[in-house]
Every structure is written in C-alpha cells, then in structure tokens.
Amino acid sequence: MKVGTWRWICFWIGLLLLIAPVVVAKKKRAIRQVVIQEVTRVEGKIQKPEVWYLLPRSNLNFEGLRLKEKLVPKIEEATRTGPF
C-alpha cells in the first residue's frame, strides 16, 4: 500500500478511538429512577466529629495580645443606646 493510504487508515482509526468513549458515555448517562413504595424509619445517633490538637511544650509568648486601649467604656456606651 501507499504511504497516503496508511495515513488515511491511521487517521480513521484514531478518530474512532477518540469518538468511541464519548458515544459509550452518552449511553451510560441514562437517568435511573428509584421509587420507594414503603416508608422506612431509620433510628440512630449522629456522631459528632472530634478534633484533637496537641501543642508541644514550649514557652508561649502572649505579649502581642495586650490591648492599647480599654474596651469597657465603648461597651458601656453601646449598651446605653437602643439596639435598632
């Protein structure tokens, strides 16, 4: 066979290999419906997630948490006025 013929054969085989999965995927996307005819009651406890965070033993520096001004006067002023 000629080189041009082999190119066309390879082209069509490659095209089929690219299109075939798309066609198969469209057929598998059929909507499945489930109809429940009985009432089912499920009882149990919902488990809450737990998180454990361990700090290594070290000297923690809390100096950056000091306030420059006191908030008590601002809180008292906010409670004197109406909420809305």
Confidence bin at 69 (pLDDT 50/70/90) = confident
Flag whether pLDDT at 40 surpasses 60.
Answer: yes
* pTM (two decimals): 0.27
Please state the domain extents for the chain: 1-31
Pairwise CA distance, residues 34 & 31, whole Å:
10
Flag whether pLDDT at 41 surpasses 70.
Answer: yes
Flag whether pLDDT at 61 surpasses 80.
Answer: no
Confidence bin at 7 (pLDDT 50/70/90) = confident
- Which amino acid type is present at position 75? I
Confidence bin at 27 (pLDDT 50/70/90) = low
Sort residue 82 into left (φ over 0), alpha (ψ -120 to 50) or beta: beta
Flag whether pLDDT at 14 surpasses 70.
Answer: yes
